[in-house]
């Protein structure tokens, strides 16, 4: 496990912790495919290559969301959206993961490195109401496209 500061975040390199976070989010597929996770104030990455600006910016967007919802609120929203998307919409992984409002905001704005400077407070709730269909671009994770 390595610890360093990069792109305005405290980075912890730990494939096991990232895998556990992925498992909690998506099950076995998440354990295998997760590359980074955010638990304020740390960004956990599987390896150094995932400490790239786009990955770190994505996780820093999650930091802001966590702080705005007093940490626990984001997890209540996630549980509600997961239940709704899996039980009523019948979405499978990774579609139900990408249905989450906090992931939609993070994925749609991760490439804009100035997003956190211009982001309005509680922007998470805009994505709760206005869902978009997004999917990973094959072989270019974490890049997504709207379809």
DSSP string across 25-84: HHTHHHHHH--EEEETTEEEESSGGGGSHHHHHHHHHHHHHHHHTTTHHHHHHHHHHHHI
Phi, psi of 131 (to 5 degrees): -70, 145
Are the CB atoms for 37 and 62 separated by under 8 Å? no
Residue 14 has a pLDDT of: 96
Confidence of residue 139 (pLDDT cuts 50, 70, 90): confident
In the block, which residue shows the tokens 């579609």?
A: 95
Hey, is 11 helix, strand or coil? strand
Residue 120 has a pLDDT of: 96
The model's pTM is 0.92
For residue range 27-85, list pLDDT tens digits in order. 888 899 899 999 989 999 999 999 999 999 999 999 999 999 999 999 899 999 999 99
Q: Which of 57, 76, 73 is nearest to 11 (CA)?
A: 57
How far apart are the C-alpha atoms of 48 and 67, rounded to whole Å? 26
How far apart are the C-alpha atoms of 37 and 22, rounded to whole Å? 8
Residue 25 has a pLDDT of: 87
């Amino acid at each position: 496990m390595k610890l360093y500061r990069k792109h305005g975040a405290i980075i912890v390199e730990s494939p096991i912790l990232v895998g556990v976070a992925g498992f909690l989010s998506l099950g076995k597929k998440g354990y295998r495919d997760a590359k980074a996770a955010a638990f304020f104030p740390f960004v956990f990455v599987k390896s150094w290559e995932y400490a790239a600006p786009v990955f770190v910016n994505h996780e820093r967007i999650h930091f802001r969301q966590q702080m705005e919802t007093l940490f626990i609120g984001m997890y209540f929203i996630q549980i509600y959206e997961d239940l709704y998307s899996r039980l009523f919409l019948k979405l499978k992984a990774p579609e139900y993961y990408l249905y989450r409002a906090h992931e939609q905001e993070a994925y749609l704005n991760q490439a804009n490195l100035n997003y956190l400077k211009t982001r309005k407070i509680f922007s998470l709730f805009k994505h709760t109401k206005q869902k978009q269909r997004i999917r990973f671009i094959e072989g270019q994770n974490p890049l997504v496209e709207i379809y």
